[in-house]
């Protein structure tokens, strides 16, 4: 384990999508980009469902109830 790593919080401030990609803006200015193929629940979701995803846990996760998908921001890294 990296010394001091567990004290670092990685928080999301914004989440958005394109047809094939999933984007998360982090509080420190970094942007995480991942293919929707990595997230089967998101890949099957319609645009309206994707646009209404919400940040949970003060930015530690992303959730959409009707597609039953929870994503940890730390796991994206």
Question: pLDDT digit string (tens) for 29-74?
Answer: 999 999 988 888 887 777 777 777 889 999 999 987 777 778 899 8
Dihedral sign from CA coordinates of 53, 54, 60, 66: negative
Confirm if 25 and 33 have CB atoms less than 8 A apart: no
pLDDT of residue 8 exceeding 60, the answer is no
pLDDT at 6: 46
Closest CA to 31 of 18, 16, 53: 16
Q: What is the pTM of this model?
A: 0.77
Are the C-beta atoms of residues 73 and 57 closer than 8 Å to each other? no
Q: What is the pLDDT of residue 25?
A: 95
């Amino acid at each position: 384990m990296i010394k001091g790593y567990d004290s670092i919080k990685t928080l999301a401030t914004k989440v958005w999508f394109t047809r094939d990609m999933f984007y998360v803006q982090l509080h420190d200015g970094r942007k995480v980009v991942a293919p929707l193929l990595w997230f089967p629940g998101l890949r099957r979701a319609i645009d309206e469902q994707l646009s209404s995803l919400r940040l949970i846990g003060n930015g530690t996760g992303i959730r959409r109830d009707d597609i039953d998908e929870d994503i940890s921001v730390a796991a994206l890294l």
